Amino acid sequence: MKKIFILLVIATCAVSCSDFLTEENATKYSVDYIYGTEDGLKLAVNALYAKQRYYANDTENATMFALERGTDLAITNGGTGNFYGIYDPNYLKPSASQVEFMWKTMYSIIGKCNDIISAAEGMPESDALKVAVSEAKCFRAQSYFLLYRTYDRIWLNTEPTTPENINDKRDYHPASQKEVFDLIYSDLRYAIKNLDWTSYEPGRFNQAAARHILAKAALWQKDWDTALNQVDTIDLCPSYSLVALENVFNAADLNHSEALMTQQWSTNLGGNLSTATPKGNYFAAYFIGMYRAEIGGTAEEACSYENWGYTYGRCLPSPYLFSLYDQEKDRRYTEYYIHQYRNTSDREITYGNVTVAPGDYFPLYRNGSLNKNVLPGCVKWGDIWTREPFETRSYKDVIVYRLAETYIIGAEAALRKGDQQKAKYYYNKTWQRAGNDEFTGTLTLKDIIDEQARELAFEGDRWYFLKRLGILIDQVKNYAGHPDLSASLAGRTNLPANPHFIRWPIPESEIINMGAENFPQNIGY
């Protein structure tokens, strides 16, 4: 059963580095109670989960998936934020709303984490208090890790904002890589020490999630020993194991043994960012073709569970991605994607120079031209459980970290250390689960790059993965988009011509707040 995360007033305001989050006592809980008692800090931690859902629910700008559109695996297909998919220099700039939304929301989370961690220092130590602090430290580490990977240059702050220091002059300067990762490591190691392997209710940080983030961070440091040690430790935990491929994403409740951490969505009060009209996320509609435009009529008439319901078709699988699968043997090719859409109406539909009868599939090409409305889609985010077919919003759980990625991290770390046996052990976890024969040859980094795509496509990490390896520009130049859809190919030339696009610009408003003399804009913007 999903737990209701209490929406505190402190949960909903987004602030920047230089803003002060004004507390409004709209409930019976005072600021003194929230930051002066152990139970109050637990409520403050609950608010962090609401803030994270607020970030995920940026439906107008789709910030969470903006970078997913600009990889070698994607056909970016119009709509808000499409300029990230094609790296359009006219729009990818410091004033872009996504650039500001990520920065401000993550620093809002970090600010509340600092307040919680600082307040706890003056309280009697207890196991429950350590858990609350550990969750806050996980959020802080996660937020700084996202900011660093996206912007390269960030401001590092661990001080709480108080009435006493609100007017103090701030030391705005870009933190060094060492400073950033020292804090990330420290926060996560504290959490690993004080969190149980499984959280006391679904959706909360636990030791497995903390170890997983640390392993990912270690890869950015080329700290192969730490990465592999975390993976080895998770692998030995009996609470986690890969599930059958058909069970990874095919349910509303995804709190299974492969999920190290899930984000909880619900139509219940407190489970969707609203106390009135439910506000689920749009993820279910984002990655599946807009087939409904071919059926026509109202959404009720055009949308069906068979075709995965209401869709926008913004970010779709590329031919390159599909070329990586053994399409006869690798079951991910069918489990993770929908390849054709059926005419679910009771009438014949004229489709170019052919007619699509009721129950038949729409051809991919119409009058010899590729029809983007019926391009294959990824169903990992698809939802036929929590919404009617014609509804736009979804309340299906979101897997934040899962064991399949842990194993791919382990395969890379072991390979980097020259341990072929262990590298293949972890590689074969996902490779064989998908139905492929055991890999017994010499494993290469190219094998891991391709397996990361096959297993983790459209889960939000491919852009960062390619950036870390230094191959983002080449992969986009060679493979992004669909050769028969010219609008999807602009990134192949725009990114190589603008190599500074491998990092986002610092938000224009934040440069003004911090002062360009203290925190200059990223080069190229």
Q: What is the pLDDT of residues 168-208, one digit of tens each?
A: 888 999 999 999 999 999 999 999 999 999 999 999 999 99
Residue type at position 186: S
Query: What is the pLDDT at residue 57?
Result: 83
Cα diameter, the chain:
76
- The topology (CATH level 3) of 400-493 is 1.25.40
- The whole-number pLDDT of residue 2 equals 47
User: Lowest mean pLDDT: which of 27-41, 105-119, 146-160, 346-360?
Assistant: 27-41
Q: Which amino acid is at 323?
A: S
pTM over cut 0.75 = yes
For the chain, which residues make up each domain, given as ranges?
9-195+507-514, 283-394, 400-493
Q: How far apart are CA 35 and CA 115, in angstroms?
A: 8
Per CATH, 9-195+507-514 and 400-493 having the same topology is answered: yes
Residues in the chain: 525
Average pLDDT, the chain: 92
Alpha-carbon distance of 448 to 244, in angstroms, equals 21
**Average pLDDT in the 492-515 region?**
97
150-167 pLDDT tens trace = 999 999 999 998 878 877
CATH of the domain spanning 9-195+507-514: 1.25.40.390
- DSSP H helix total and E strand total for the chain: 20, 10
**Residue 338 in 3-state DSSP?**
strand
Closest CA to 105 of 12, 15, 193: 15
pLDDT of residue 24: 44
Q: What are phi and psi of 486, to 5 degrees?
A: -60, -35
pLDDT at 451 over 70: yes
Q: pLDDT tier at 60 (50, 70, 90 boundaries)?
A: low
Rounded CA-CA distance 320/259 in Å is 28
Structure tokens at 437: 């024969």
Tens digits of residue pLDDT in 39-51: 999 999 999 999 9
Backbone angles phi, psi at 273, to 5 degrees: 80, 10
* pLDDT of 59: 66
Look at residue 270 in the predicted model and tell me its pLDDT.
57
Sign, Cα dihedral of 475, 477, 478, 483: positive
HSE-up of residue 274 (Cα within 13 Å, Cβ side): 9
